[in-house]
Amino acid sequence: MELAETILEYKNKRNELVEFIFAEDGLRDFSNYLHLQDKNQKINDIDPFSFIGIFNRGTLSISNRIKILEKIKERFKIKADIPSNFDGIPVSNYSRMFFYNWNDFENSCNRIWEAFEAFMNGNLDLWFNYNVIAKRNAVCTIPLFWCKPNDYIALDSRNVEYLKQYGIEVKVNDTKSYFNLLQEIRNKMDSGEINASSFADISFKAWSHTNTQLNISISEQLKMNSIYQEYVTLLRSTHNLILTGAPGTGKTYLARQIADAMGAEVGFVQFHPSYDYTDFVEGLRPIQDDNGNVGFERKDGVFKAFCKKALKTSTQKEDDIFDKAWDALLNQIREGIANEKLIKIGSWEYSLSKFDSLKYTSSNSPSKYTFTITKQNIYDVYQGKKARPSGGYQKDMQDIVDYMQTKFNLAQYVPNQEQKKGFCLHHRRNQPWRNLKNLW
């Protein structure tokens, strides 16, 4: 890679790299994450992999990655063309994308430069020893691929899963095992077992395979959710739904899915000839005290017990349901960050702030400002309110609510006055059960 060879020339003039990173006409708009442990203290040195990582962060839009490369091309007189897309190139989705060590900054930069120079000459020992590769395969091998994509493969999650299809288990803990892995992959490519011409080709195919599987999965889920929502709409309008069919045709499964789509509790009762009112509603049951005396106690049947549970649940705030969907969304985004693939909702790919708010970077904003959407913003939109007085970014937040409803079965918000509509339950003596009339 031409850029890697050019950067090596700056091993003993790293101050010029640092100046370029923080220059107004350099990369200042994209490098505010490069600081010491004290966020107010900028770095005064930089290692080569951290420099190359500036434009290989998953949190960047494609347009911003191109802008960074344009500045680098101009500053360092790079002859290679700038790519128009970055499909198949593994990235890091951590907002702090650097390889130096905060606690040993100066020494770590020096060690990485020594390892980088050895790597450019074909020796990986110093780099593997610095990273302890057994613990962080992806972090250690991704920058190798950035610099020499035809010689080394990145062991990110997509590539690792893709290689498993061809019987290749990735077990790398040192230079020797990594080179053995590279040779095993080359052998399978040469024999035609892996239909790829290079490590870069494998990386692209792994990326394409992951995206295809994801699109199929989401498409199937959306189709099924649409079917469930039809039943949900019918049930909410009629309050009753009877599913008929022969045993084993999926009635119970469908009932559970409808309940899940409503965010509802589920209880099942199987009727039989000896099942009576005392089993279903309430009745007297014999009990024995500590002295052996036998008496009778009124016990709730399965239906009344379920009604009490529903009544207790109905008094809780609707944000309990929202919280579950929100937590599921955060977990999915964290998983995406860990797997180096941000979750895209609507027009944006989302990561998380340190306070677990959603954030994305505008590629159109002159300041490349990072926008933050809080949980309260989304909850307000869920309730049909304006999240912000100006109404700004309302569509983006509505996209997130729609995603939570589709992906995590977040029930439609029902205002309190609609929740109170229902019917009164009576037992067989026509005496109303108190506190149950507003249950549905």
The more confident residue out of 182 and 210 is: 182
Do 30 and 62 reside in the same domain of the chain?
yes
- Mean pLDDT calculated for residue range 192-207: 87
Whether 30 has a pLDDT exceeding 90, the answer reads no
Please tell me the predicted confidence (pLDDT) of residue 314: 56
Q: Which residue shows structure tokens 């930089």?
A: 46
Residue 434 counted as domain residue? no
Do 187 and 228 reside in the same domain of the chain?
no
Tokens of 211: 């995206």
Please tell me the predicted confidence (pLDDT) of residue 134: 38
Task: Examine the fold and report which residue of 175, 206, 237 is the final residue of a domain before the chain moves on.
Answer: 206
Whether 216 has a pLDDT exceeding 50, the answer reads no
Q: Which residue shows structure tokens 């609510």?
A: 401
The more confident residue out of 153 and 58 is: 153
Contact status, residue 88 vs residue 341, Cβ threshold 8 Å = no
Cβ-proximal residues to 185 (8 Å cutoff; 6+ apart), any chain: 153, 163, 168, 194, 199, 202
Please tell me the predicted confidence (pLDDT) of residue 218: 46
Q: What SS3 state is found at 16? A: helix
Q: What SS3 state is found at 310? A: helix
Indicate if the alpha-carbon torsion angle 347, 348, 349, 352 is positive or negative.
negative
Do 160 and 255 reside in the same domain of the chain?
no
- CA distance linking residue 440 with residue 136, whole number of Å: 53
Please tell me the predicted confidence (pLDDT) of residue 285: 82
Do 171 and 42 reside in the same domain of the chain?
yes
Please tell me the predicted confidence (pLDDT) of residue 427: 35
Please tell me the predicted confidence (pLDDT) of residue 369: 57
Do 45 and 162 reside in the same domain of the chain?
yes
Please tell me the predicted confidence (pLDDT) of residue 428: 37
Residue 267 counted as domain residue? no
Whether 214 has a pLDDT exceeding 50, the answer reads no
Which DSSP state fits 411? P
- CA distance linking residue 348 with residue 365, whole number of Å: 14
**Least confident among 100-109, 204-213, 393-402:** 204-213
Do 197 and 227 reside in the same domain of the chain?
no
Residue 166 counted as domain residue? yes
Please tell me the predicted confidence (pLDDT) of residue 432: 40
Q: Model confidence at 20, in pLDDT bands (50, 70, 90)?
A: very high
Please tell me the predicted confidence (pLDDT) of residue 436: 38
Average pLDDT, the chain: 79
Q: Model confidence at 28, in pLDDT bands (50, 70, 90)?
A: confident
Contact status, residue 37 vs residue 7, Cβ threshold 8 Å = no
Q: Which residue shows structure tokens 């149950």?
A: 436
Length of the chain: 440
Per-residue exposure over 78-88, b if at least 16 CB sit within 10 Å of its own CB, e if not: beeeeeeebeb
Model pTM above 0.85: no
Task: Examine the fold and report which residue of 138, 173, 206 is the final residue of a domain before the chain moves on.
Answer: 206
Residue 217 counted as domain residue? no
- CA distance linking residue 195 with residue 191, whole number of Å: 9
Indicate if the alpha-carbon torsion angle 218, 219, 223, 224 is positive or negative.
negative
- CA distance linking residue 216 with residue 208, whole number of Å: 12
* 309-318 LR contacts (CB < 8 Å, sep 24+): 309/265, 309/267, 310/265, 310/439, 311/435, 311/436, 311/439, 313/265, 314/419, 314/438, 314/439, 318/413, 318/414
Please tell me the predicted confidence (pLDDT) of residue 19: 93
Whether 113 has a pLDDT exceeding 90, the answer reads yes
Do 238 and 119 reside in the same domain of the chain?
no
Residue 8 counted as domain residue? yes
Do 32 and 173 reside in the same domain of the chain?
yes
Residue 428 counted as domain residue? no
The more confident residue out of 76 and 430 is: 76
Please tell me the predicted confidence (pLDDT) of residue 46: 92
- CA distance linking residue 273 with residue 392, whole number of Å: 61
- Could you give the number of structural domains in the chain? 3
Contact status, residue 127 vs residue 115, Cβ threshold 8 Å = yes
Residue 420 counted as domain residue? no
Do 92 and 199 reside in the same domain of the chain?
yes
* 270-278 LR contacts (CB < 8 Å, sep 24+): 277/301, 277/428
The more confident residue out of 375 and 97 is: 375
The more confident residue out of 69 and 89 is: 69
Over residues 298-353, the pLDDT tens digits come to 888 888 888 887 766 654 555 568 888 898 999 899 888 888 788 899 888 888 88
Do 95 and 34 reside in the same domain of the chain?
yes
Cβ-proximal residues to 119 (8 Å cutoff; 6+ apart), any chain: 126, 127, 144, 147
Please tell me the predicted confidence (pLDDT) of residue 29: 84
Name the percent of the chain lying above pLDDT 70: 81
Please tell me the predicted confidence (pLDDT) of residue 93: 56
Do 174 and 96 reside in the same domain of the chain?
yes
Do 122 and 237 reside in the same domain of the chain?
no
Angle 158-171-337 from CA coordinates, rounded to 5°: 35
- Mean pLDDT calculated for residue range 359-388: 75
**Does an H or E element contain 286, and which?**
strand 282-288
* Rg (the chain; Cα; Å): 30
Residue 245 counted as domain residue? yes
Please tell me the predicted confidence (pLDDT) of residue 128: 80
Q: Model confidence at 439, in pLDDT bands (50, 70, 90)?
A: very low
Contact status, residue 84 vs residue 112, Cβ threshold 8 Å = no
Tell me the residue range of the domain where 237 lies: 222-262
